[in-house]
A = this chain, B = another copy of it.
Amino acid sequence: MTKIEKMGEKAKSAGRVLMTSPTLVRNKALDMIAGALLDKKADILAANAADLAEAEKNSMGTAMLDRLRLSEARIEEMARGVKAVAAEEDPIGKVIEGTVRPNGLQILKTRVPLGVVGVIFESRPNVTSDVAALCLKSANAVILRGGKEAFSSNSALTKIMREAVACAGLPEDCVQLIEDTSRESAKEMMCLKSLDLLIPRGGKGLINAVVENAKVPVIETGAGNCHMYIDAAADFGKAVELVFNAKTSRPSVCNAIETLLVHETAAQDVLPAIADRLLEKSVEIRGCEKTRLLLPGALPATDEDYATEFNDYILAVKIVASPTQAAEHIAQYTSGHSECIVTEDYETARWFTKTVDAAAVYVNASTRFTDGGEFGLGAEIGISTGKLHARGPMGIEALTSTKYVVFGNGQIRE
């Protein structure tokens, strides 16, 4: 048995204890984790400083460094996040449906944990406590495999969380961190039979590697090639602000838009205003031929551009002849995350929401709202772009399964 396989077995045992643990005990563990994060800020910051020193030695970019960096304020935020998860409703044990069959069998569909959840993530150490908290709340053991850059920080956080979990009377193996941060350990996780679910959180490379190699159940998260379509019947004032918000409020995240589609009868009036507004944030526009006639400063857009999640201050633009053409472009390029139409036309709005196939389809609102908190689901473990099990922001319930419990008094089947 490899080291990771042994961790899998330990997680299964811990998961069995969690499965029947009362809500109070799991909430106590979360409260103790939150307390310990605050009490041991100094240890966490020291470990994080080691990661930062190493990162600077390896000339990590400032954006990446910023994601890696913890501070007292960030640790306090992590502790608040754990407390918020503790305060959420416990889904485990709920009876979702129940019936009595004509033969007297009582059949209850109940909510149960998955068992063991694996999460592969990249450099943000706050993910470590977020993910562990969501898994504990939903009574799942978790195996974490963070990025190499954050290894010291993740180790310190995991040590603190394991101690807290043990203090609450649960097995410390409810939370485990894989020490090997090589590609091989990620690959091994993708085939680790003891995992009931593997969630990759990261860039396209990671997601693709998981789809290619995984032999355990997987939920893909986060790839966001999102579109906004400005219809002929759009309110242009709204359109300008919606594009500006969806593109520039945080270009690095998955719910930002990458391509703007504009109806040809609207283009002349709205595109120059949009370009002006985007100029405030120095957004680079890559447009189709018709776009470039209206916006001479725009670069030419390639098919590759339409397929790309820029995660940057870049926007591809295409002028289309109809809502149908917009929907066809979206069907071809969407990653199934978030798609938006800007229109004041009732039928076109309804048609778009029915026709476009994505986790979230918007009318006249920024795609940036696709988020567990914004949707009122509480903390999220990721945003599923798959269609099975969970779609869109995944809260605690996405970490559960169901079990039929059947009570009889000797019923046999004829």
Contact = CB atoms under 8 A, between A and B. Distances in A.
Interface of A: 16, 19-20, 99, 101, 105, 107, 112, 114-115, 196-197, 211-212, 215, 217, 219, 235, 238, 241-242, 244-246, 249, 331, 349, 353-355, 357-366, 368-370, 374-376, 386-389, 391-392, 401-414
Contacts of A19: 354-355, 357
A403 B365 contact: no
A412 B357 contact: no
24 contacts: A20-B354, A99-B376, A101-B375, A105-B365, A105-B369, A112-B357, A115-B357, A115-B387, A217-B388, A219-B388, A235-B410, A238-B409, A238-B410, A245-B412, A249-B412, A358-B403, A360-B406, A361-B406, A362-B406, A365-B407, A365-B409, A365-B411, A366-B412, A391-B401
B217 A408 contact: no
Interface of A is mostly: mixed
Contact of A364 (B241, B331, B369, B409): B409
B409 A388 contact: no
A242 B403 contact: no
Given A101-B374, A360-B403, A387-B114, A368 B408 contact: no
Contacts of A249: 412-414
Given A197-B388, A406-B361, A411 B217 contact: no
A211 B332 CA distance: 28
A236 to B, nearest CB: 11
A246 B389 CA distance: 31
A365 B108 CA distance: 14
A363 B104 CA distance: 13
Nearest to A351: B20
Contacts of A391: 401-404
Given A212-B215, A389-B389, A353 B405 contact: yes
